[in-house]
Structure 1
Amino acid sequence: MNASNILLLIIVVQLVSVNLAFEKTQNVLSKSKIIHLNGSIGPESVAFDPNGEGPYIGVADGRILKLQLGSNNRLSWAEFAVTSSHRRDCTSPFAPKMEHICGRPLGLRFDTKTGELYIADAYLGLQVVGPKGGLATPLVQKFEGKPLVFTNDVDIDDDVIYFTDTSTKYQRWQFLTSFSSGDTTGRLMKYDKSTKKVTVLLGDLAFANGVALSKNKSFVLVTETTNFRILRYWLKGPLVGTHDVFVELPGFPDNIRINPKGEFWVALQAIRSVPSVSDSKFGMFSYNPQQMGDEGELHPTALKLSEDGRVLEVLEDVEGKTLRSISEIEEKDGKLWIGSVVMPFLRVY
């Protein structure tokens, strides 16, 4: 069999794998309810506090907002916290040139015991703010003397905080360059609250993104966006300290969140394009940066996985007309709260 036939065979196998993963798909996300942000944009992550209040979201101008019921019995967004003290020139909804000054909160997680909110800010590192909100306190901004470049997501296990640094080369505003360059400098890291020690658990990751601890805390998952997969790092058991591939995906994964049953919701920003024969990586899918931008055909997808990585449910907005971007799915009381890094609203399904 010559090289061309081998390449064609690999392409067919990959396409079949993608189709099988979507056998149980439901084109329903376009029917989800919109909750407007009243001038703000980009609710990347969604979190509820230990009392069940919220949701809380981080938006593009550097603030963290809380949805609450006002005196007129109407829902409204109130400022809960900020990640930067330099707020003078931080305008709503978005000042791209000010992101590194105003901060850009991405991943959000509450400590269920203390009520503290842990924040992965793309420019300002790992932070925490108390139950009453206000200005967040930096926890980790450097590692081995070098600044964190692109802090992305976070999860909590009692005294240990797991978080991702997407790249050591490219900041958030350069994410398309990180994609197209094939950058593999991402890291899964942990912060010990008692010792304040920071450790790299996994390095050389391709756009390290979402983080989620398993229900029994035996492993932690991390999404590799540009490798279209989720890795599993073992924290307990005979495989402790090693990692493996949890699942290969048919699209670009963003955040990953666990539900009360221990299943995982994964947000896919877009589905992989048809493989290109001219791709320099033999048999790999080509990447079109427009799939993740404002142009081109998007295909936002919510994927539910079992504890062992099996596909349980697939929810889509096939045409991407009403839900053009999806970054996170947070399940609470039977509802799915859907975040987006670019849209001016939350969606609830």
Structure 2
Amino acid sequence: MPISRRLLAVAGVPVAVAIFVVIAAPYIIAPPRIEGAKDVLHRAKPIPVPGEGPESLDWDPQGEGPYVGVADGRILKWRGEVLGWSEFAVTSPNRENCSKHVPELEHICGRPLGVHFEKKSGDLYICDCYFGVMKVGPGGGLAEKVVDEAAGRKVTFTNHMDIDEEEDAIYFTDSSDKYQIRTVFNAFMSGEKTGRVIRYDKKTKEAKVIMENLHFPNGLALSKDGSFVVVCEPPSLLVHRYWLKGPKAGSRDVFAKLPGYSDNIRRTADGDFWVAIHSKKGVFPQFALIHPWIGKFLMKTMKMELMVYLFEGGKPHAVAVKLSEKGEIMEILEDSQGKTMTFVSEVQERDGKLWFGSVFMPFVWVYDLN
């Protein structure tokens, strides 16, 4: 059911106010138009997923998949239209009450977000936002823990990752050391810079914090030559770049500024990047983010469904931004009215198609670039 239809029952505000918000939001705080954007993503093909929130996607070294993680702790594998989805792995052995997604049981059942195959081993690495970075072998089954702390602090919101296979290093984001996914809007609206980026050396087993004091760092990707890593910081609309090699090694700068609040970022075969935009930069979120005390007040007085509705400007939609290896915006695609796609969390380009995941919806989508 669309968020707007559930609003009156769950908003936690007087009915008259809720009615006003539902009616007025699409006109007063509607998401802005993006100059040069192509409104084409409504043509994408949806593929239903038997689970909520397939946030991230990846393919195994044989090209099979995609594989996605869903909110009840399972990793699923797409086997084509005839065979559909099959269960490949789980991130927790405690599956007794995990046949469907129950937010209060996520810390028991697991909640996989970013997924990434290591090509040379065939192992699938998983960012479970409660358990840390995990991995499972090519045969699937129960994933095992790889790392869940760095610099003496537990990782509490493992989100997205990339792997440098030459250096045997994993880079991943810990979005907040205070909030978890059930209170994700608190992390976003509080203004608190409690996130960090971590490098894990698989040989030495050392986890080193390379960036900290970030406001909800989310998607992460390595450059094609491994000289830098880019990290999305959605509340600031920025993509940061941290230099790993060369004369700037150990320093950071701004790689790009985006027209909305990003989720994951994935590199293409050519070395460019696709960024999933959860929602465009709008009046309400900008006002609330500039004044964190307003955001904190709203989080205490509104349900998350209403907050999401306001962030989306009353019109859930989908945007994908392509960045060059220098951080220049190359292309912007969108479904401005959310006719087919909403709440996108990741975009991957593969064989002339774009594949999309969603942190909320029970779908992945495929858009043909040709």
Whether TM-score is above 0.5 comes out as: yes
Aligned to 1:336: 354
Question: Are the structure 2 counterparts of residues 206 and 280 from structure 1 closer, same or farther at C-alpha, using a change threshold of 3 Å?
Answer: closer
Indicate the residue corresponding to 2:366 in structure 1.
348
Q: Secondary structure at the match of 1:177?
A: helix
Structure 1 runs of 4+ aligned residues shifted over 6 Å read 275-280, 292-295
Q: Deviations over 1:59-91 (max 9, x none)?
A: 01100000114xxx7131011111111111102
- Equivalent residue number for residue 31 of structure 1: 43
What is the rounded CA distance, in whole Å, between the counterparts of 1:125 and 1:178 in structure 2?
Answer: 18
Q: Structure 2: where are the runs of 5+ without partners?
A: 1-31, 299-305
TM-score, structure 1 normalization: 0.87
- The answer for the alignment partner of 2:256 in structure 1 is 247
Aligned to 2:172: 163
Out of 70, 83, 97, the residue aligned to residue 89 of structure 1 is: 97
The equivalent residue for 1:140 is: 147
Tell me the C-alpha RMSD between the 2 structures. 2.2
- CA gap of 1:33–1:146, structure 2 versus 1, over 3 A, is same
CA distance in 2, matches of 1:277, 1:116: 40
Match of 1:49 among 60, 67, 70: 60
CA contact (8 A) 2:345 2:359 kept: yes
State the distance in 1 between where 2:185 and 2:89 align. 29
Instruction: Say which of 312, 334, 338 aligns to 1:316.
Output: 334
- C-alpha offsets along residues 258-304 of structure 1, whole Å, 9 cap, x if unaligned? 1111110000000111379976848xxx9993357798322320000
The reply on whether 1:63 has 2:74 as its aligned counterpart is yes
In 2: Cα distance, 1:55 partner to 1:143 partner: 30
- Bigger proportion of residues as helix: 2
Q: Give 2:318's match in structure 1, choosing from 293, 297, 300.
A: 300
Deviation at 1:124, TM superposition (A): 0.7
Question: Normalised by the size of structure 2, how large is the TM-score?
Answer: 0.83
Q: Does 1:198 align with 2:191?
A: no
2: CA distance, partners of 1:115 / 1:223:
27
Task: Answer whether contact 1:180 1:289 (CA < 8 A) is retained.
Answer: no
Work out whether 1:76 is the aligned partner of 2:88: no
Q: CA deviation at 1:143?
A: 2.7
Residue identity over aligned pairs, in percent, reads 49
Partner of 1:265: 274
Instruction: Confirm or deny: 8 A CA contact 1:292 1:298 kept in the other structure.
Output: no
Asked whether the 8 Å contact 2:40–2:334 carries over to 1, the reply is yes
Out of 170, 180, 198, the residue aligned to residue 189 of structure 1 is 198
- Tell me how far apart the structure 1 counterparts of residues 258 and 57 of structure 2 sit (CA, whole Å): 23
| Letter matched to residue 91 of structure 2 | T
State whether residues 66 and 79 of structure 1, in contact with CA within 8 Å, keep that contact through their aligned partners in structure 2: yes
Could you tell me how far 1:324 is from its partner in structure 2? 1.6
Superposed displacement of residue 322, structure 1: 2.2
Q: Once structures 1 and 2 are overlaid, which stretch shifts more, 41-50 or 288-297?
A: 288-297
Greater Cα offset, 102-111 or 319-328: 319-328
Greater length-normalized contact order (CA 8 Å, ≥ 6 residues apart): 2
Distance 1:113 1:277 in 2: 43
Number of residue pairs the alignment of both structures matches:
323
Q: Distance in 1 between matches of 2:133 and 2:161?
A: 8
Match of 2:122 in 1: 115
Question: Structure 1 stretches of 5 or more lacking a match?
Answer: 1-17
Q: In structure 2, how many angstroms separate the alpha carbons of the residues matched to 1:276 and 1:98?
A: 29
Alignment of 1:161-240 (within 5 A): 161-240=170-249
Aligned-partner SS, 1:75: coil
> Structure 1 residue 146: deviation in Å?
3.2
- Distance (Å, rounded) in 2 between the aligned partners of 1:320 and 1:269: 12
